[in-house]
Structure 1
Amino acid sequence: MSTINYSEKIPNNVNLSEDRTLQRALEGWQPNFINWWDDVGPEGSTNHEVYLRTAVSVDPQGWAQFGHVKMRDYRWGIFLNPGEAERKIHFGDHKGEAAWNDVPGEHRANLRRIIVTQGDTEPASVEQQRHLGLTAPSMYDLRNLFQINVEEGRHLWAMVYLLHKHFGRDGREEAEALLQRQSGDQDNPRILGAFNEKTPDWLAFFMFTYFTDRDGKFQLSALAESAFDPLARTTKFMLTEEAHHMFVGESGVSRVLQRTAQVMNELKTDDPAKVRAAGAIDLGTVQRYLNFHYSVTIDLFGADQSSNAAIFYSSGLKGRYEEGKRTDDHVLKGQTYKVLEVQNGQLVEKEVPMLNALNEVLRDDFITDSVAGVNRWNKVLEKAGIPTRLTVPHKAFNRQIGALAGIRLSPEGRVVNAAEWEAKKAEWLPTPEDFAFVASLMGRVVEPGKFANWIAPPVMGINRQPVDFEYVRFG
């Protein structure tokens, strides 16, 4: 099962040719997918040949090969991790029972909702990023953008396969709808708020791939625990590809900071106006972008108390991050967890049933992981002798979902009144002037080995190629 069959119209390792009805249905969906890619995929890229990695196996050793390919000809497909014959459900009310290969009737609606919500995020990010290729800071970065785009497309295929195979007519209709909604569309937007935000520039893109793709890592990890075995096997393989997306974000911001620190040291200044005048992105702007993308992303985990989260866990549909490494009973009845709320103008903690707080558990795991990466960014500044440090804001800052929605809070976690919020908002979140300044830097640089003035080159190229390799051949 580990090898992928590329001789078929739809590459797969699920023996698709043995199910003619399913194969015909997916081959019917395929032209609609290509039309969607042509309409709202990466702008102006049709004739580019891009140095892309393509999955050839789901074996962690040697799972991908690299080569130049036109993105429109990329072999998207359906790849599941190998199954375990005796796999057991390891959490929730069905703990100890055999994992499901088919959808139990009583969980059908909830499983479909989970798969559709996950599936909807994949094309959304392609739509959000479709203009970025026109302002790439280097050929290396352009290639990384395109790699992320094709893999988001394949993750869409992964969810569409599950919908077609396991959910009958409902699933086919949902698969069509995944191509009909559009990021930011007033009449038919994407399901989750963060996926309707614009990604206007490359600093936003790096923050998105660092924070929002990290949400993807945690959501996929929770689904990789699922009692529904095809979903668990699908998301395990998706995580292999997702790791690159977060690398692009983390290394991208690191390179921005490296260049900013270099300019600050050359000019011997921390004056934002002077840093900007030299064509680098000042640290205040980086911090405001961080505050925005972090706060928007932690809303993606949902309300801090959620009966749906309890149902999904107890039913075995969605576990916790690294469920198998936890030492509790994996049923969680009678256990509690602390969540935040505002009482008398102050943030207070309160204990709630852990089953209802599982969104918060996942959010807190994400926060721990995010902070570790921000600390790595700070090491770039420390190494350069710059005393400023980036911080993640308080988790109740700028929230739009759950008990903390609309609470006015400083990034440090202090409740503020409306007047102070209005007075300080421009210090805490990106302003129109910030966006305009960053946009003014976004000139396209695509000569091999050349980089825009606002970002440092990477330490090494892709797949052991040199940094000045011809990653994109322009047709």
Structure 2
Amino acid sequence: MSTSINYEDKIPNNVDLSSDRRLQRALEGWQPKFMNWWGEMGPALETHGVYLRTAVSVGRDGWAHFDHVNVPDYRWGIFLAEPKADRRIAFGEHKGQPVWQQVPGEYRADLQRLIVIQGDTEPASVEQQKLLGLTAPSLYDLRNLFQVNVEEGRHLWAMVYLLHAYFGREGREEAEALLVRNSGSPDSPRILGAFNEETADWLAFYMFTYFTDRDGKYQLGTLKESAFDPLSRTCEFMLKEEAHHMFVGTTGVDRVVTRSAQLIREHDTLDIGKHGGIPLDIIQKYINFHYTVSLDLFGSETSTNAANYFTAGLKGRWMEERRKDDHQLTEHGIQLDRPNADGTWTNDELSALLALNLDLRGEYISDCQSGIKRWNKIMADAELDFRFALPHVGFNRHVGMHAGFHITPDGSIVDEATWQKGRKKWLPTSEDLAFVRSLMHPVYERGKIASWVAPPTNGINNKPFDYEYVYFH
């Protein structure tokens, strides 16, 4: 199979789509519905050319081409990473057997559900970010927003291809439903809670691409291990694209923190709101909110579903093949702190097989710490003694064993009155959100940037910051 992508077809692909006329017709029938969805739910800001990267190859090097593209003309397509010769199942009860090229009947429903849930998150974030272009702080940021949006659109295509190619009529119906549900809709919301939250300002966008897209990285990483080879190869290529989305989040928060530090030094006060900057305590509250909403995406600490998916070979652990154990987990344990109604904590031992969500969440949390370290280094370099922190894993949780408890950012279990009193110190208030929104004035001039964020250290694809990333006429 070729590693390059065929752009001659109506739907660009590297899966030899034209050799399966029925599948090609079905996907060509879905395409106008996707374009209608994009027109209705995609970016509200009209542009005449955005400097976007388009995948041209799935190989190790040189996989992207950069040029100005009119966003609705972007060539969304179906790209799977190269197959690995003689790939074997790395975990679970089928460990050592050849991977599957077709869906085994007994796992059909479970695999379909995993693909639908992953697929549902992709268009959701485009919907959440629909209005952000209207308040972009610079052309560079506007370009990054559109890059994230078109790639989330392509990730939707990736999952829709699997549904159409391997799940028959039910798969086709699920592919239709992915365009019917909408983020925040009262009647047909997206499946997962975080994808129904509003992303109303650019600080929220940076936090979303840092914390929530990072959850996406870990979920895709577990599916990349799947014994169902087409899913594995699809996720492997999606991870390449996802890396840029997290880069947008990491450097976005870096730049907000940098600018806030500059304003604090310049005006010798932490109260930088009146000087057009975002105060550090508001940044911390945004961290608290987006991190905890993203933790909920990992599900319950103990999960028989996750255990069954692992045993069946459908979904592995992060970096499964690098783990130094039997990859079956029948005799392994894991420690867990459980909250009690009397305000104390109990340490339990769980079977590792039942605690796979906890294992994945642990990997995610240590990755999130790397951002906190970066932002604290910016504070230290500016000789400011403020430090950011991730709140306790039980804080502000609505899923799993911490839901229903009132846990402070430092991990104390308190009563509801104490929690409600502290809440405005810990989570963004309506006043905080209104203040951040008040700073969101669009800056569409080349080389100019909004007051509340520092320019990036580098442009995109070796272009300078003041390059014309977006054409408006």
> TM-score, normalising length from structure 2?
0.99
Q: Match for residue 297 of structure 1? A: 294
The correspondence of residues 289-438 of structure 1 with structure 2, limited to 5 A, is 289-343=286-340, 344-438=342-436
Q: Match for residue 14 of structure 1? A: 15
Distance 2:197 2:435 in 1: 19
Q: Match for residue 97 of structure 1? A: 97
Does 2:442 align with 1:444? yes
Distance 2:421 2:218 in 1: 35
Question: In angstroms, what is the RMSD of aligned CA positions?
Answer: 0.7
- What is the Cα deviation at residue 48 of structure 1? 2.5
- Match of 1:76, SS state, is coil
Aligned amino acid, residue 143 of structure 2: R
Q: Match for residue 458 of structure 1? A: 456
Q: Is the contact between residue 57 and residue 63 of structure 1 (CA under 8 Å) also seen in structure 2?
A: yes
Deviation beyond 6 Å, 4+ runs, structure 1: none
Does 2:106 align with 1:136? no
Does 2:110 align with 1:113? no
Distance 1:337 1:32 in 2: 46
Distance 1:382 1:60 in 2: 38
Q: Match for residue 124 of structure 2? A: 124
Q: Match for residue 44 of structure 2? A: 43
- What is the Cα deviation at residue 377 of structure 1? 1.2
- Match of 1:252, SS state, is helix
Q: Match for residue 33 of structure 2? A: 32
Distance 1:100 1:38 in 2: 37
Distance 2:65 2:304 in 1: 44
CA deviations over 1:222-281 (Å, ceiling 9, x no partner): 1000000000000000000000000000100100011100010011122x3xx1010100
- What is the Cα deviation at residue 337 of structure 1? 1.2
Q: Is the contact between residue 303 and residue 402 of structure 1 (CA under 8 Å) also seen in structure 2?
A: yes
CA deviations over 1:277-330 (Å, ceiling 9, x no partner): 101000000000000000000000001111000000000000000111110100
Find 2:278's aligned residue among 281, 302, 310: 281
Find 2:469's aligned residue among 464, 468, 471: 471
Distance 2:166 2:443 in 1: 46
Q: Is the contact between residue 210 and residue 250 of structure 1 (CA under 8 Å) also seen in structure 2?
A: yes
- What is the Cα deviation at residue 373 of structure 1? 1.5
Q: Is the contact between residue 201 and residue 436 of structure 2 (CA under 8 Å) also seen in structure 1?
A: yes
Aligned amino acid, residue 233 of structure 1: R
Distance 1:404 1:198 in 2: 23
Q: Is the contact between residue 101 and residue 230 of structure 1 (CA under 8 Å) also seen in structure 2?
A: yes
The correspondence of residues 161-310 of structure 1 with structure 2, limited to 5 A, is 161-270=161-270, 272=271, 275-310=272-307
Aligned amino acid, residue 77 of structure 1: G
Distance 2:402 2:469 in 1: 45
Aligned amino acid, residue 460 of structure 1: N
Q: Match for residue 5 of structure 1? A: 6
CA deviations over 1:133-152 (Å, ceiling 9, x no partner): 00000000000000000000
- Match of 1:42, SS state, is coil
Residues 301-310 or 331-340, more deviating: 331-340
Distance 2:148 2:233 in 1: 21
- Match of 1:318, SS state, is coil
- Match of 2:355, SS state, is helix
Q: How many residues align?
A: 471
Distance 1:136 1:30 in 2: 29
Q: Is the contact between residue 343 and residue 412 of structure 2 (CA under 8 Å) also seen in structure 1?
A: no
Distance 2:337 2:430 in 1: 31
CA deviations over 1:408-431 (Å, ceiling 9, x no partner): 011011111111111110000000
Q: Is the contact between residue 398 and residue 406 of structure 1 (CA under 8 Å) also seen in structure 2?
A: no
Q: Is the contact between residue 291 and residue 429 of structure 1 (CA under 8 Å) also seen in structure 2?
A: yes
Distance 1:422 1:193 in 2: 22
Residues 260-269 or 344-353, more deviating: 344-353
Distance 2:61 2:247 in 1: 19
- What is the Cα deviation at residue 447 of structure 1? 0.4
- What is the Cα deviation at residue 2 of structure 1? 0.6
- Match of 2:461, SS state, is helix
CA deviations over 1:124-173 (Å, ceiling 9, x no partner): 00000000000000000000000000000000000000000000000000
Aligned amino acid, residue 317 of structure 2: R
- Match of 1:340, SS state, is strand
Aligned amino acid, residue 168 of structure 2: G
- What is the Cα deviation at residue 60 of structure 1? 2.3
- What is the Cα deviation at residue 346 of structure 1? 1.6
Aligned amino acid, residue 299 of structure 2: G
Q: Match for residue 65 of structure 1? A: 65
Distance 2:331 2:189 in 1: 39
Q: Is the contact between residue 52 and residue 68 of structure 2 (CA under 8 Å) also seen in structure 1?
A: yes
- What is the Cα deviation at residue 340 of structure 1? 3.0
CA deviations over 1:382-429 (Å, ceiling 9, x no partner): 111111010000111111001111210110111111111111100000
Q: Is the contact between residue 210 and residue 246 of structure 2 (CA under 8 Å) also seen in structure 1?
A: yes
Identical positions, percent: 59
Q: Match for residue 154 of structure 1? A: 154
- What is the Cα deviation at residue 42 of structure 1? 0.3
Q: Is the contact between residue 339 and residue 357 of structure 1 (CA under 8 Å) also seen in structure 2?
A: no
Aligned amino acid, residue 25 of structure 1: A
